[in-house]
Chain A
Amino acid sequence: MSVSYTSILWNKQKKTYDIGIIIGVLSFTLIFFIGHTVLHPDATFETIFIRNFGLLAFVMLHIILIIGPLARLNTKYLIILYNRRHFGVSMFIMAAIHGIFSILNFHSLSNTNPIKSVFLSNLKYDSIIQFPFQTLGFLALIILALMATTSHDFWLKNLGPKIWKGLHMMVYLAYALIIAHVVLGALQNETSPILYGVVFMGFLLVAGLHIYTGMKEIRADKPLGNDIDFVFACKVADIKENRAKMVMVSGERVAIFKYEGKLSAVNNFCRHQGGPLGEGKIVDGCITCPWHGYQYRPEDGQSPPPFTEKVETYQLKLENEEVWINPQPFPEGTHVEPVKINQ
């Protein structure tokens, strides 16, 4: 929310969240080391270490990719989404441990440059079975590094939303590279089909959830009308207390909030990173974005001082139990008297 920067805006919830990540990482590692030693007693420490952190990063990447769609289906997942950037940076650290340790282990013993060794020690680029799969992991790691190192709001603001968003959409390219890295790499070690099955299920889950929520959104986006007159939006009873109903008017998504016996409508697009305000809640009298917690007053769409973000507001009216909306937005931050619900 601009003003000056601190590394991370610490609050209790974020600390709990980060402790959760650390506990998760440690338990995964413990279970993996024990399990691996039981199943393959002759494996070296280095092998287990490399596999552990590769797999951990891979699992975390799946969680990151499905958490967006999941939070749209069920708001109880919002808490994980809320600090997705911490999760992303942690995932990068796990991937970096795996990658750097692999390079130290396999490529730093000769006197060629270790990175050149990753790309040039195996030249069977035309083979599938013996493909130099580590190169794919390396390229993916660079993408993850770009995302992790630019995840702070400073970069969002100063690279501009277009470049930033572009960088972060590359996560899907990284995901494809990593799947190829795992499958082609495993082809050279693993003989059991279980790994392929699990990788394939993970992919189905990610792709399936994205397609499913995408289709739901297209249906929800059917416009209500484009004329100046008020158009019917929803019933008062359709909106839960302190939450919103999203409607599409004049090509824009609008969130209609119900709180303290009143109704207010604002543009759905959070000015931070475009989070869906209509999926957020009213907290302390302010609309609170589900993604990173930016807040806006429902009656005028303004962030409380010292913050300066603003969203458009809309005129509502009530007819019996029906909520009607004027599709013409007011300029960002315009005060609109909330509509009182007679209960």
Chain B
Amino acid sequence: MIELISLTIDAFFIYLGIGLLFSIWFVLVGAKKIDNGMEDTPFHFKLILIPGSVLMWPVMLIKILKK
């Protein structure tokens, strides 16, 4: 039980770590690919997409790959 909880939390941190890397790429490059409204969106607005993409990266990754 303790092992399982401990592993789940490790997995959670790995998930967030990948999410952080993804979010940097997403803000700089990825978001434009799925939403053309992003083209002339100011940079400071894009920064508020970081927390969301850290958490929701698998969904966004799938959407971008499907395009």
Contacts and interface: CB of A to CB of B under 8 A. Distances in A.
A115 B14 CA distance: 13
A4 B39 contact: yes
Nearest to A146: B55
Given A5-B45, A158-B34, A158-B63, A115 B9 contact: yes
Interface in A1-28: 2-7
A296 to B, nearest CB: 20
A276 B45 CA distance: 29
Sorting the interface of chain A by its residue count into under 10, 10 to 19, 20 to 34 or 35 or more gives 20 to 34
Interface string A153-180: 0110111000100000000000000000
A7 B44 contact: yes
B51 interface: yes
Interface stretch (A53-61, A116-124, A203-211): A116-124
Given A4-B38, A4-B40, A5-B45, A120 B59 contact: no
Contacts of B54: 149
Contacts of A146: 55-56
Contacts, number: 64
A103 interface: no
Contacts of A113: 9
B59 A4 contact: no
Contacts of B63: 158
Interface string B33-59: 011011111101100110110111001
B29 interface: no
Contacts of A5: 37-38, 41, 45
- Give the dominant DSSP class at A's interface: helix
B37 A2 contact: yes
Contact of A3 (B6, B37, B49, B52): B37
Chain B interface, >50% SS class = helix
Interface in A211-263: none
Interface in A259-299: none
A126 to B, nearest CB: 11
Contacts of B56: 146, 149-150, 155, 159
A4 B41 contact: yes
B5 interface: yes
A149 B60 CA distance: 14
B2 interface: yes
A163 B2 CA distance: 32
Nearest to B47: A7
B6 A7 contact: no
Nearest to A135: B5
Nearest to A125: B1
Contacts of A3: 37
Contacts of A163: 59
Given A5-B41, A7-B45, A116-B6, 15 more contacts: A5-B37, A7-B44, A116-B9, A120-B5, A123-B1, A146-B56, A148-B51, A149-B55, A150-B52, A150-B56, A152-B48, A154-B31, A154-B52, A155-B56, A159-B60
Interface of A: 2-7, 113, 115-116, 119-120, 123, 145-146, 148-150, 152, 154-155, 157-159, 163
12 contacts: A4-B38, A6-B42, A6-B45, A115-B9, A123-B1, A146-B55, A154-B49, A155-B52, A155-B56, A157-B37, A158-B34, A158-B63
